[in-house]
Amino acid sequence: MAREIAAPGRTKEILEHHGFSFKKSLGQNFLIDRNILEKIVLASKAGSEDGVVEIGPGIGGLTEHFAKAAKQVEAFEIDGRLLPVLQETMAPYPNVRIWNEDILNVDMRRVLSEDLQDVQEVIVTGNLPYYVTTPIIMNLLEQRLPITRMVFMMQKEVAERIAAEPGSKNYGSLSIAAQYFAEPVKTMIVPKTVFVPKPNVDSAVVRFEIRDTPPVQVEDEAFFFRVIKSAFAQRRKTLWNNLQHNLTGREQREELGAALQEAGIDSGRRGETLTMQEFARLSDSIQHRLHQR
């Protein structure tokens, strides 16, 4: 029986055989711990009738585990140098298809309707490079794709921001945006020692259960997110200062004050103390006041 791809010795052999060198610009760090790979698959709840979209398969360590658990795996790898490696390592798995594409440029709705139309649930997974973690997650969430859940490995610091609660130092616009579209839960911490090459920081795995409907209803979703972004523009400033400088302008001080009062929110508070429900009330109140002019 062939050794698993993610076994440290086999990973080294594969990389040496193909003369592969890591590109720092692509944030390439391959996981070499079978136990953690199994836990990621368990966290995903992938079953034999499910389809998986994997972002950044690398040499196929995680891909192999999902190929054994799911019906079909569509793996998107941006680095063309890894295609011959993946063709070799994935040869035993006819249910894996490799794409040499940047996930941010992929028509994911087409992939789901044409390549994964015969599966029960769709799960998106991957070990995300730090520099594109937030764009990838938000791009997938904002499209409101017919996916059930996402399970991503990411830098621990980003995971803490995504799962943060109001009032904590990690809570910000990313926390609210992620929690608006999904229920993110940090499932495990992954030490930097189980990667090749070893990154500078520890990672974490976050599972996102995609919501059918957001936890709050707002009249204008785009404006709601503008309010949130403005409220966190400078964390040390009060809500009043941030909103006045980044959203309404000084000439609309009166309307902003009335909106805060109507929403029952003290203008001296800071953005990180507001719950999503309070931001929803505030967003609708500001919009009503501005439209009354």
Tokens linked to 160: 């803490």
pLDDT single digits (tens) 85-142: 999 999 999 999 999 999 999 999 999 999 999 999 999 999 998 889 999 999 999 9
Q: Quick one: which of 180, 286, 177 has its CA closest to 232?
A: 177
Domain ranges of the chain: 8-210, 221-291
27 is in an annotated binding site: no
Cβ neighbours around 226 below 10 Å, total: 16
105 is in an annotated binding site: no
pLDDT single digits (tens) 188-205: 999 999 999 999 999 999
- What is the band of 23 on the pLDDT scale with cuts at 50, 70, 90? confident
CATH classification (class only), 221-291: mainly alpha
CATH classification (class only), 8-210: alpha beta
Residue 222, helix vs strand vs coil: helix
Q: What angle do CA 224, 239, 258 make, to 5 degrees?
A: 75
Q: Quick one: which of 69, 57, 113 has its CA closest to 95?
A: 69
Q: What's the pTM value of the predicted model, to 2 decimals?
A: 0.93
Q: Quick one: which of 239, 244, 246 has its CA closest to 264?
A: 239
Q: Do domains 8-210 and 221-291 have the same CATH topology?
A: no
170 is in an annotated binding site: no
140 is in an annotated binding site: no
35 is in an annotated binding site: no
Residue 225 carries which side chain, given as an amino acid letter? F
